């Protein structure tokens, strides 16, 4: 029966604490975590609790149990706000939430929480050594949210042909996207695809709405052209615009 | 100025002691009270009452008091006196059956160790009294008594005795109405949905008196009057009296008032619909009996979200913000003129449309199914249909799907839509072993219904399998001593992600070994192997309507016989190939429950054809046919030659097969549904000299299970006859079937759906077209039961009576019992 097993069954909390600390220092976080979990209630209010709680929280983080790590680190920070580890704990708490953020194409509840937590950390410790890292993480998460909305808008463009040629959904979604994320890195693509949707809607339109739709498409082309005169999509866009110009002439001549 | 609270003098707390009967340490109680030594407080004052409140609030103590024992100058000595609440030791319940006791203990949380508060005793008492009253035991008396456990050393504990006197069920002997002239007693009694007179003929709803229900029923009685134009009707008084025999009598005194009729009905404020359109939707005309209930229903029917009413007329045209108010403008001489005041508001357009709760399924799998997209005009029907179709994907819990309207802005005419979904497990693992077919059969089946095949090489996607792309993947292995089957299938509902074109493919391999009578084991040297692959595309159509699906598939099967002499074929060594193209058109608009459709129809037409090989391969089949006809099957040499000829004929199977199937569901009354069905199938050959193939044939009779076994045969259900008994041994090449089924649901709950059915059907199969006579049917009738449970699928039993004789017999077939697993008739 190993010493670890003995410690697990032991009644003496000091033995557990000692053994747990050794294991923790050796990088055996899962074993250490089990021992810590047993003695956390008994140490509550005692002077060693601060060290114990930090190790306990960190063992969850190391075990990749980010749900509990996020929660425990946050608790640590609120219980020992004066601790020298408080800053690190709050950062690791926020980073745990960051770790929980799923791929962009699934629900982003955790992403939003992570951004909030990171922002909270930055507000609280604006001088922190972790600041650059925190900013980077926020950027990454913001990008994820942008990408989600961008991909959905693009999806509407992709599937619009089916049934009703509903490019309006795509145009509206891109409009909302550009409004919601003015500084997005997808701006160029978004403006191009918005124009692409409007172009398709205009060219394939029913007669009585055609003129309006062609004009809208041209408006979007101009906006795109003005913002990105040297875009990789420029040649394609120019071709489409030329087609629109030909189509619209039909109306201008008549009137 | 001094408020009474500040009247107390200021003291410093010098000491706090705790007295009384408690197991908690003094320090704990003092800390909990919030009072601290050295604190300056007013006595009497707020701090003391706060401390009392806190201690009471812990629900751990009784008899809590705080005393000021003495004062020395401004030093105060306090004493907290309290008693631990007793813990519950044992509960005894009298007056109910043993089996019920546990549930009662659970309902009231009377577990060992809970603190027995006054509140617990009172709520238990009330709960039980109400519970039995609701069941008609109007005179239920419940008493709860507690007795301390004498030998408790550590903690104070009590035993609880709950005595329930249900007494007799109170039935209602009669319900009398006084003052009713226009509506009969009988009609009014019928309007009372829950409160019924004693009547031994009515056994589904028993007579019992429940106060709440009775009050509700009185409202129903008045509603009944209102429906008939008596809108002033009211209950003046009602009385309940006890009879000697323990029953109740109810008397209701009614004032009917006068009858009213509708006068002019005018619409005000409507711009997008004409008065005529609205009044035809309203369906109420001048002179009709005044019916407030009906009027309300025609304007907004709360009971059905998809009702045909004026509200929905507006809601479906984008007018989310419309309001419709009927107003009585005059009531002259019992004629009521109405004005339907409509405020149309701006049409609403969707702004942001989002989905939340998808922590497994990828966005695009959901968003592509939405029928409400940004920029579109609001339509209630589209919302309802989206919710229904998301539920049909099978990835989400249909009960918990909800559309949430957000940021509705009447000024801008916009709203946001959020669909909230809850993922449910959609993978199944089937692992079973059992005896059958002369030995042990093991089956391993895996089916994943929300698979993501692009992630199969990504380690982190395995939780426990890659999910989220809406694909389905199934693997199935089955093995016994005599056969092994391996199959794999994959389906992608949106091929390429652009259009809802379903791509599916399946692979299968079957090995069958012959029984060796000497070793009583499978003879591995004698085998019959079948390998097949199918690739198919199915496309939802938009014309003529969007319930149509067009499907196409190419399939190839290779049959390989090694020493397999069973009489199935004239050759024991050889092979056969089946390459075919299938095209099908189907339409399905049955609704709403796929297990128990109450309306709509489904039909499908399919054609499966092989290429016309005989046109291309220059084999003279006429000569072969003539030669074969001249051979004698009992002569071994001739038989071998026949084998050669047949091998030539079946090298590549040449056939065409046409099938039609249609089912109609019609609601008769309430939930009684008639399902009528018609089926037809025909298997033919391009080259009559080459003949109709022995594969792909129809076998009519029995439960219809075991579809698509070895030789592509199709089992057609025909109850009242043994399995496959109505076709010749080689199977028919043509069949038809007509059926009529009457269904009635027993329960359609989420846990289990059960329905009973009665059926009549007729069908038969023929070996060739010359014999075909669609009216020469084998007939049967019978009854059955179906049970659907999500974990088990559909199970059922049918008793069918065959009225006609089996082929080759003269007596009618009589009763047959069929067990149904997984298949729907």
Query: Please, what is the Cα angle at B426 between B420 and B429, to 5 degrees?
Result: 165
- At CA B314, angle to CA B313 and CA B319, rounded to 5? 155
Report d(CA B482, CA B476) in Å as an integer.
17
Subunit contact A105:B364, Cβ cutoff 8 A: yes
Mean pLDDT of chain B: 84
Model confidence at B707, pLDDT cuts 50, 70, 90, reads very low
Spatial separation of the C-alpha atoms in residues B233 and B217, rounded to whole Å: 15
Q: Tell me which residue in B361, B375, B499 faces A171 most closely, judged by beta carbons.
A: B375
Tokens of A154: 């693009």
A163 close contact with B: CB closer than 8 A: yes
Distance between CA A150 and CA A144 in Å, rounded?
A: 10
Nearest CA to A119 out of A100, A150, A102, A141 is that of: A141
pLDDT value for B438? 57
pLDDT digits over B303-328, tens only? 776 677 888 889 888 898 999 999 88
Predicted confidence (pLDDT) at residue B123 exceeds the cutoff of 80: yes
Cβ distance A106 to B362 less than 8 Å, yes or no, reads yes
Of the candidates B265, B260, B284, the one whose C-alpha atom is nearest the C-alpha of residue B332 is B260
Q: How many residues does chain A have?
A: 255
Q: Which of residues 498 through 527 in chain B touch A, CB cutoff 8 A?
A: 498-500
For residue B148 the two structure tokens come to: 């301390």
B351/A107 CB distance under 8 A: no
Interface confidence, given as ipTM, is 0.89
Nearest to B541 by CA among B530, B552, B550, B532: B550
pLDDT band at B757 (very low <50, low <70, confident <90, very high): very high
Give the mean model confidence (pLDDT) for residues B538-567: 86
* CB < 8 Å from A in window 374-433 of B: 374-376
Q: B152: pLDDT confidence band, cut at 50, 70 and 90?
A: low
Is A155–B356 a contact, with Cβ atoms under 8 angstroms apart?
Answer: no
CB-based contact B363 A152, cutoff 8 Å:
yes
Please provide residue A56's backbone torsions phi and psi, each rounded to the nearest 5 degrees: -60, -50
Looking at residues B512-540, what average pLDDT do you find? 84
Q: A81 in contact with B at a CB cutoff of 8 Å?
A: no
* 8 Å CB contact of B367 and A156: yes
Min distance A158 CA to chain B CA atoms (Å) = 6
Sheet holding B40-43, edge to edge: B40-43, B9-21, B75-84, B61-72
User: Residue ranges of chain A with pLDDT lower than 70?
Assistant: 1, 162-164, 253-255
Confirm or reject contact between B36 and chain A (CB < 8 A): no
Count residue pairs from A and B with Cβ separation < 8 A: 65
The band of B435, judged by pLDDT with boundaries at 50, 70 and 90, is low
Residue B413 to residue B348: CA distance in whole angstroms: 4
Which chain A residue has its CA at the smallest distance from B357's CA? A107
**Token pair of B346, please?**
């701006």
SS3 label, residue B328:
strand
Q: Is the pLDDT of residue B367 over 90?
A: yes
* Strand (E) or helix (H) holding B636: helix B636-650
pTM score over 0.80:
no
Q: Roughly how many angstroms between the first and final C-alpha of chain B, as a whole number?
A: 88
What is the rounded average pLDDT of the residues B655-663? 95
**CA dihedral over B813, B815, B819, B822, signed as positive or negative:** positive
Can you tell me the mean pLDDT for B525-536?
90
- Least CB-CB distance to B374: which of A109, A161, A172? A172
What is the token pair recorded at B567?
């009489």
DSSP secondary structure letters along B652-702: B---EEEEEEEEEEEE-STT-EEEEEEEEEEEE-SSTTT---SSS-EEESB
Helix (H) or strand (E) segment spanning residue B403: strand B402-409
Is the CB of residue A14 less than 8 Å away from at least one CB of chain B? no
Which residues does chain B have within 8 Å of residue A176's beta carbon, measured at their own beta carbons? Answer: 351-352, 374
Number of CB atoms found within 10 A of residue B419's CB: 24
- A117 strand-pairing partners: none
Sequence-separated contacts (24+) of B745-752 with Cβ below 8 Å: B745/B596, B745/B671, B748/B593, B748/B596, B748/B671, B750/B399, B751/B789, B751/B790, B752/B787, B752/B788, B752/B789
Could you give phi then psi for residue B428, rounded to 5 degrees? -130, 140
Question: Which residues, including other chains, have CB under 8 Å from residue B758's CB and lie 6 or more apart?
Answer: B741, B742, B781, B782, B783, B784
Tell me which of A107, A160, A163, A178 to substitute to probe the interface with B (most B C-beta atoms closer than 10 Å).
A107
Q: Which of B352, B357, B362 sits opposite A176 (nearest CB)?
A: B352
pLDDT of residue A191: 95
- Indicate the range of A202-206, B149-153, B596-600, B718-722 predicted with least confidence: B149-153
Mean pLDDT of B600-616: 91
**Residue found by looking up tokens 């609001």 in the block:** B378
Do the Cβ atoms of B363 and A155 come within 8 Å? yes
User: Which pLDDT score is estimated for B153?
Assistant: 64
Confidence class of residue B825 from pLDDT cuts 50, 70 and 90?
very low
- Rounded to whole angstroms, how far apart are CA atoms A71 and A123? 19
> Is B150 strand, coil or helix?
coil
Tell me the C-alpha distance between B699 and B811, whole Å: 21
> What is the 8-class DSSP label of residue A230?
T
Note whether A67 contacts B: Cβ–Cβ < 8 A: no
* Shortest alpha-carbon distance between residue B383 and chain A (Å): 15
- Placement of tokens 């429940």 in the chain: B210
pLDDT (tens digit per residue) in A58-111: 999 999 999 999 999 999 998 888 889 999 999 999 999 999 999 999 999 999
Q: How many CB atoms lie within 10 A of CB A19?
A: 19
Chain A contact present for B276, CB below 8 A: no
B364 part of contact set with chain A, CB < 8 Å: yes
Q: What does the DSSP 8-state code read for residue B195?
A: -
Mean pLDDT score, B32-38: 82
Q: CB of B195 within 8 A of CB of B250?
A: yes
Can you tell me the distance from the alpha carbon of B171 to that of B138, in angstroms, rounded to the nearest whole number? Answer: 9
SS3 readout for A121-162:
HHHHCCCCCCHHHHHHHHHHHHHHHHHHHHHHHHHHHHHCCC
Measured between beta carbons, the chain A residues lying within 8 angstroms of B357 are: 107
Which of B358, B362, B368 is facing A159, going by the closest CB pair?
Answer: B368
A158 — contact with chain B (CB < 8 Å)?
Answer: yes
A155 CB near a chain B CB, below 8 Å? yes
> Would you say residue B522 has pLDDT above 80?
no
Q: Which residues of B touch A168 (CB under 8 A)?
A: 373, 375-376
Give B528 or B427, the one with higher predicted confidence.
B528
Q: Give the residue with greater pLDDT, B396 vs B151.
A: B396
Chain A residues in contact with B358 (beta carbon < 8 A): 106-107
Q: Which ranges of chain A would DSSP assign to H, the alpha helix?
A: 3-9, 13-25, 29-43, 49-62, 66-79, 86-100, 109-124, 131-159, 167-180, 187-203, 207-227, 234-254
Q: Choose the weakest-confidence range: B464-473, B674-683, B703-712, B777-786.
A: B703-712
Q: Do A156 and B362 touch (CB under 8 A)?
A: no
Average pLDDT over every residue of B101-120: 82
Angle at B85 between CA B81 and CA B87, to 5 degrees: 150
Q: Which pLDDT score, from 0 to 100, does residue B200 have?
A: 66
Would the CB atoms of B358 and A168 count as touching at under 8 Å?
no
**Mean pLDDT to the nearest integer, B720-744:** 89
Of A114, A110, A96, the C-alpha closest to A57 is: A96
Q: Decide: B336 and B261 in contact? Cβ < 8 Å.
A: yes
Nearest to A141 by CA among A182, A94, A188: A94
Q: ∠B645-B648-B650 over CA atoms, to 5°? A: 110
CB B764 within 8 A of CB B700: yes
More confident residue, B595 or B345: B345
| Residue with tokens 């069929």, as numbered in its chain | B818
A159:B360 CB<8 A: no
Enumerate residues 122 to 151 of chain A having a beta carbon within 8 A of any beta carbon in chain B.
148, 151
C-alpha dist (Å) from residue A116 to A60, A106, A109, A120:
21, 19, 11, 6
**pLDDT bucket at B1, cuts 50 / 70 / 90:** very low
State the smallest CA–CA distance between residue A64 and chain B in angstroms: 13
Tell me: pLDDT of B162 over 80. Answer: yes
Nearest CA in chain A to B494: A159
Say how many C-beta atoms besides its own lie within 10 A of residue B282's C-beta.
20
Cβ neighbours of residue B44 under 8 Å, at least 6 residues apart? B7, B8
pLDDT category, B3, cuts 50, 70, 90?
very low
Q: How far is A213 from chain B (nearest CA, A)?
A: 14
């Amino acid at each position: 029966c190993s010493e670890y097993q003995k410690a697990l069954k032991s009644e003496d909390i000091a033995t557990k604490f000692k053994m747990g600390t050794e294991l923790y220092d050796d990088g055996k976080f899962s074993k250490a975590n089990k021992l810590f979990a047993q003695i956390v209630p008994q140490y509550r209010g005692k002077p060693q609790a601060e060290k114990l709680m930090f190790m306990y929280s960190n063992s969850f983080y190391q075990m990749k149990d980010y749900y509990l790590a996020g929660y425990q680190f946050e608790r640590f920070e609120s219980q020992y706000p004066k601790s020298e580890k408080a800053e690190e704990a709050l950062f690791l708490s926020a980073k745990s939430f960051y770790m929980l953020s799923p791929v962009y194409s699934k629900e982003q509840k955790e992403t939003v929480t992570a951004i909030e937590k990171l922002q909270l950390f930055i507000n609280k410790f604006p001088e922190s050594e972790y600041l650059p890292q925190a900013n980077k993480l926020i950027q990454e998460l913001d990008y994820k949210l942008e990408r989600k909305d961008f991909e959905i808008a693009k999806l509407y463009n992709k599937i619009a042909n089916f049934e009703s040629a509903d490019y309006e959904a795509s145009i509206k979604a891109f409009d909302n996207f550009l409004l919601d994320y003015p500084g997005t890195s997808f701006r160029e693509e978004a403006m191009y695809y918005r124009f692409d949707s409007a172009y398709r809607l205009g060219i394939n339109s029913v007669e009585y709405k055609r003129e309006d739709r062609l004009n809208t498409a041209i408006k979007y082309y101009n906006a795109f052209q003005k913002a990105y005169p040297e875009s990789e999509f420029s040649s394609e866009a120019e071709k489409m615009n030329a087609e629109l110009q030909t189509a619209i002439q039909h109306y201008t001549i008549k009137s | 100025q001094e408020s009474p609270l500040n009247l107390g003098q200021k003291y410093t707390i010098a000491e706090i002691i705790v007295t009384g009967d408690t197991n908690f340490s003094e320090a704990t109680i003092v800390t909990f009270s919030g009072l601290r030594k050295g604190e300056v407080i007013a006595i009497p004052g707020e701090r003391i009452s706060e401390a009392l409140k806190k201690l009471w609030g812990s629900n751990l103590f009784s008899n809590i008091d705080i005393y000021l024992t003495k004062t020395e100058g401004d030093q105060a000595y306090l004493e907290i006196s309290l008693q631990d609440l007793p813990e519950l030791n044992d509960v005894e319940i009298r007056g109910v059956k043993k089996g019920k006791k546990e549930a009662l203990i659970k309902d009231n949380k009377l577990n060992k160790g809970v603190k027995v508060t006054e509140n617990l005793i009172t709520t238990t008492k009330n709960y039980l009294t109400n519970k039995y009253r609701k069941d008609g035991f109007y005179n239920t008396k419940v008493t709860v008594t507690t007795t301390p456990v004498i030998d408790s050393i550590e903690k104070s504990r009590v035993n609880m005795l709950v005595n329930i006197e249900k007494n007799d069920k109170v039935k209602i002997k009669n319900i009398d109405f006084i003052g009713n002239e226009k509506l009969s007693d009988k009609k009014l009694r019928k309007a009372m949905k829950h409160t019924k007179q004693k009547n031994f003929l009515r056994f589904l709803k028993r007579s019992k008196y429940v106060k709440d229900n009775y009050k509700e029923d009185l409202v129903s009685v008045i509603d009944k009057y209102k429906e008939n134009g008596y809108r002033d009707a009211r209950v003046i008084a009602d009385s309940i009296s006890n009879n000697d025999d323990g029953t109740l009598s109810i008397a209701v005194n009614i004032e009917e008032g006068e009858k009213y009729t509708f006068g002019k009905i005018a619409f005000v404020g409507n711009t997008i619909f004409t008065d005529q359109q609205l009044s035809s939707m309203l369906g109420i005309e001048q002179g009709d009996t005044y019916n407030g209930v009906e009027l309300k229903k025609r304007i907004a029917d709360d009971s059905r979200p998809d009702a045909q009413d004026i509200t929905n007329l507006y809601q479906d045209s984008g007018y989310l913000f419309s309001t419709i108010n009927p107003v009585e403008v005059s009531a002259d001489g019992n004629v009521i003129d109405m004005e339907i005041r409509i405020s149309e508001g701006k049409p609403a357009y969707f702004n942001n449309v989002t989905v939340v709760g998808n922590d497994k399924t990828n966005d695009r799998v959901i968003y592509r199914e939405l029928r409400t997209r940004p920029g579109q005009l609001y339509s209630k029907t589209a919302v309802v249909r989206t919710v229904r179709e998301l539920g049909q994907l099978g990835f989400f819990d249909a009960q918990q799907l909800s559309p949430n309207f957000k940021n509705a802005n009447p000024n801008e005419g916009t709203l946001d839509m959020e669909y909230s979904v809850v993922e449910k497990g959609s993978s199944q693992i089937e692992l079973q072993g059992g005896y059958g077919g002369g030995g042990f059969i093991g089956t391993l089946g895996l089916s994943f219904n929300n698979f993501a095949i692009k992630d199969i090489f990504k380690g982190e996607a395995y939780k426990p399998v890659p999910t989220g792309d809406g694909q389905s993947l199934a693997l199935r292995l089955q093995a016994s001593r005599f056969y092994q089957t391996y199959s794999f299938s994959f389906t992608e509902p949106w091929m390429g992600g652009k259009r809802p074109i379903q791509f599916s493919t399946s692979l299968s391999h079957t090995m069958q070994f012959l029984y060796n009578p000497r070793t009583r084991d499978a003879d591995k040297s004698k085998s019959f192997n079948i390998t097949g692959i199918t690739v198919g595309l199915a496309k939802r159509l938009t014309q003529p309507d969007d319930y149509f699906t067009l499907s196409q598939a190419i399939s190839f099967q290779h049959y390989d016989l090694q020493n397999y002499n069973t009489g199935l074929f004239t050759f024991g060594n050889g092979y056969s190939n089946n390459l075919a193209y299938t095209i099908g058109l189907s339409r399905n608009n049955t609704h709403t429950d796929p297990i128990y459709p109450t309306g709509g129809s489904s039909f499908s037409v399919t054609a499966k054809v092989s290429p016309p090989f005989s046109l291309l391969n220059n084999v003279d089949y006429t000569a072969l046919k003539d030669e074969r006809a001249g051979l004698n099957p009992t002569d071994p040499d001739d038989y071998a030659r026949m084998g050669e000829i047949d091998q030539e004929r079946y090298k590549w199977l040449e056939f065409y097969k046409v099938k039609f199937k249609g089912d109609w569901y019609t609601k008769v009354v309430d939930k009684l549904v008639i399902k009528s069905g018609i089926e037809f199938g025909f298997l033919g050959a391009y080259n009559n000299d080459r003949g109709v193939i022995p594969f792909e044939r129809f076998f009519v009779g029995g439960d219809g299970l075991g579809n698509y076994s070895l030789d592509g045969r199709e089992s057609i259900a025909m109850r009242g006859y043994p399995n496959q008994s109505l076709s010749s041994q080689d199977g028919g090449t043509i069949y038809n079937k007509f059926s009529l089924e009457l269904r009635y649901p027993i329960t359609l709950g989420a846990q289990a759906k059960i329905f009973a059915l009665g059926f009549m059907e007729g069908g038969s199969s023929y070996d060739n077209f010359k014999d075909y006579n669609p009216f020469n049917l084998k007939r049967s009738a019978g009854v059955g039961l179906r049970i659907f449970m999500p974990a088990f699928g559909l199970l059922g039993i049918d008793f069918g009576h065959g009225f006609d004789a089996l082929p080759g017999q003269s007596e009618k077939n009589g009763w047959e019992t069929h067990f149904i697993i997984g298949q729907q008739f």
